[in-house]
Structure 1
C-alpha cells in the first residue's frame, strides 16, 4: 500500500506531503491542486510502463499513429512550480511487509534539451536497492555526463564491493535496472533486489485513473475483455465475467438494488452480429433496460462495482469528483461499498470530492486519512493538510457537523488563521 507522497516543486506544490490510507478523500476548492495530485500518481504509473520522461510528460503513440498514453497535463513547460529548474516526487509504500521509499528528481529540460533524471533512488527497509546519490556509508558517485545517470548497487556475487552501473538519464532507472541485473548478476542478493524492484514496478503499474464517460460505458465489448477502461470501456464484458461467479453475481444484484431505485433481479448479455455484448438489466416484472437506456448514474454505479468485483481489479484507484452523477441520498451507500471493498486489504483508493455530504458519511478510519488541499490568500503554492491535523478540529467536529463545516469554508478559514503573517 502507498503510505505517503511528497511533492517538491511539482506543479503548484512548492513543498507538500500527502498521507495516504486505504481510502484517502481529498477536499478543496476548484484550482486548489487536487488534479495535480492525480498527475503525480500518473507520472509514477508512466514509469512502470517503461516510458521515457518525454513520453510520460508528453504523449506516447504506437503503430499506425494510435495514441497509447496521454501525457501529464501542461506537459514539460508546466511541470515545475513557478518555472523551477527541477521537481521531485517521493513515494513511501509497504509491500509484502517491507517498507519502500522511491525518490526521483527530474529536470524537465527546455525546447533544446530532453527531460532527464538527475537524482533517483530506491530503498527497502532503509537498505539500499540503488541510488544515484547514496547515503552514508556508501561512497558517493560523481555524475559527469548529463545524458547518463550512474547508480550504486549493493555488493553480491562477483561484486565484493558495491558497484556502479550507468543508465540513460532520459528514462527512469527503475524501469531499466531489472533487465541489467538479469544480464550481469545471478547471486542471491541480486535476486532479492530484482524481486523488490519488480514488486515496486507492479504496484505502480496496477493503478487506474477512472474518469467515467457514459458514452464509453454504453459501447458493446467482446467477451473476455475483463479490464475496465479508464472511461468505463469494456463495462459489459467485465460485468459478464462477474456474473459467471454466482456469489459475485448475487453481490452485484444486491448492490445495484441498494444503489438505484431499480428492482433488478438479473443481468443479460445479448450479442450483436460481431459477437459483441451489451449488458441489460432485468427487473422483477421482466422489463429489460439496456445500457443504451440506463441512466448515467446507474452506469456509473455499475462501473464502480465492476472495478471492485471484476476478475482483474487494480491495487490503486484514483477517482475525481466521486459524487458525480449520483443522487445525494445514495452517497452513503457508495461509501459503504468502497469501504467494504478496501477493508479486504487488496485495494486502495484516492478520491476527490466537492460534496459536503460525502465527508459527513466517512467512517472514522477513512476520516483519519482525509485531507484538505488549499491555497492561502496571495500565495501561489498549494498546500495539503490532513483534516484531523487542522488546529482545534477535533473539538470543533464534536460540536458541529462535518458537512456544514465543509460547506461554510471553515476548513480553509482555519488554515488562514493558522498562518501568523497572513492574520497580521
Structure 2
C-alpha cells in the first residue's frame, strides 16, 4: 500500500515513510493461540514458519534447537513443569521428511522418550509460547491468548516471569490475556504498571481498555488482596466505571 503513495513532495515522502513504518511493525506482530490437539502429529520438516495454532510446532522446534542457547533456554523452563524430570528435547524424523518432537524424561532410574502425542496440553502450550518468543525478531510483538489455559497453576506465574525475562533480553513486547485470578494476584506491585483491564461499556456495547494503575482506588484493591480478588468480588468492575479525577503519583 505504501508503495502506491505519491512521493513527489517532502510531505508525501514523510507520509509514505510513516506508512512503511506502521506496516513493518504490523507484520512483526505474532498472534498465538496454541491448540494442543493440532500439535500432536508429525509435520513437514521444512514447515518452519510458526502458525497461530502452532500445529507445525515440531518443525519450528527442530529448526530452532539448532541454536544451542535457545534450546537450553527452552529446556530451563520446561524442566520446571510439575511433571517428570526432563533431560532433553529430541526429534523423530520419518523417511519422507516429517518430524515430531519428543521430551526425554527421567523417572527414578529409567528414561523414556515421550513424543508430542503423549505430552499434556499444558506442556505443549508452554513449549509453544516459549518457542514463539525465542524465535521472534527483536522489536517484534507476540500476543498470547489465555496464557494459563491448561498449565499447572503453580507454574503459570513462573512461565510469565520467564517470558518477561526473555522479552527484555530479546527486545520483544509480549501481551498476554488471562482470566486467572491466582496469576493476577501473583503480580508484584512494580509489575502492575504493564497490566491493563479490558471491560465492556454497557452504554455503547463496546470493549474498553484501561491501565490498572489509572483506576482511582487501585491501592485499596491491592491492600484488600490483589488484582485477582478484585476481579472476583467485582470491586474492579465497579472501580472501572468511575472516572479518575487526578493522577496519583
Q: Secondary structure at the match of 1:264?
A: strand
Equivalent residue number for residue 247 of structure 2: none
- Provide the rounded CA distance (Å) in 1 between the counterparts of 2:226 and 2:114: 39
The structure that has the greater radius of gyration is: 1
Q: Judging by fraction of residues, say which structure has more strand.
A: 1
**Which whole-Å deviations, capped at 9, do the CAs of 1:160-203 have from their partners, x for residues lacking one?**
xxxxxxxxxxxxxxx2x32444xx65x98876655443232110
Aligned to 2:30: 208
Query: 1:3-14, aligned counterparts within 5 Å?
Result: none
Runs of 5+ consecutive residues of structure 2 not aligned to the other structure? 244-249
Aligned counterparts of 1:387 and 1:393: Cα–Cα separation in 2: 7
Return the offset for 1:375. 3.3
Could you say which residue in structure 2 is the equivalent of 1:317?
142
Q: TM-score, normalised by structure 1?
A: 0.51
Which residue of structure 1 aligns with residue 172 of structure 2? 347
Q: Quick check: 2:82–2:152 contact (8 Å CA) kept in 1?
A: no
Greater length-normalized contact order (CA 8 Å, ≥ 6 residues apart): 1
Q: Does 1:303 align with 2:128?
A: yes
Superposed displacement of residue 260, structure 1: 4.0
Distance 2:17 2:54 in 1: 32
Deviation track 1:2-42 (CA, whole Å, cap 9, x = no partner) reads: xxxxxxxxxxxxxxxxxxxxxxxxxxxxxxxxxxxxxxxxx
SS in structure 2 of the partner of residue 368 of structure 1? helix
Match of 1:231 among 37, 53, 57: 53
Q: Does 1:357 align with 2:182?
A: yes
Q: Indicate conservation of the 8 Å contact 2:44/2:97, yes or no.
A: yes
Q: Which protein is richer in helix relative to its size?
A: 2
With normalisation by structure 2, the TM-score equals: 0.84
Distance 1:222 1:260, change over 3 A: farther
Q: How many residues align?
A: 240
| Pair 395,254 (structure 1): closer, same or farther in 2 beyond 3 Å | same
Equivalent residues of 1:319, 1:350 under 8 A apart: yes
**What is the CA–CA distance in structure 2 between the aligned matches of 1:246 and 1:382, rounded to whole Å?**
43
Is the Cα contact below 8 Å between 2:88 and 2:104 reproduced in 1?
A: yes
Matched residue SS, 2:194: coil
2:83 pairs with 1:261 = yes
Checking the alignment, whether the CA contact within 8 Å between 1:268 and 1:282 is kept in structure 2 is: yes
CA distance in 2, matches of 1:396, 1:411: 8
| Gap change, CA 1:302 and 1:200, over 3 Å in 2 | same
Question: Which secondary structure does the structure 2 equivalent of 1:227 belong to?
Answer: coil
Unaligned runs of 5+ in 1: 1-174, 420-424
CA separation of 1:350 and 1:327: change in aligned 2, threshold 3 A: same
- Whole-Å separation in 1 of the counterparts to 2:170 and 2:18: 20
Distance 1:313 1:229, change over 3 A: farther
- The RMSD of aligned alpha carbons is 2.7
From the superposition, tell whether residues 194 and 401 of structure 1 become closer, same or farther in structure 2 (CA, over 3 Å).
Answer: closer
User: In structure 1, how many angstroms separate the alpha carbons of the residues matched to 2:11 and 2:202?
Assistant: 52
Q: Which residue of 2 aligns with 1:241?
A: 63
Distance 1:311 1:320 in 2: 17
Answer yes or no: is the 8 Å Cα contact 1:317–1:349 preserved in 2: yes
SS in 1 for 2:98: coil
Contact 1:331/1:357 (<8 A) preserved: no
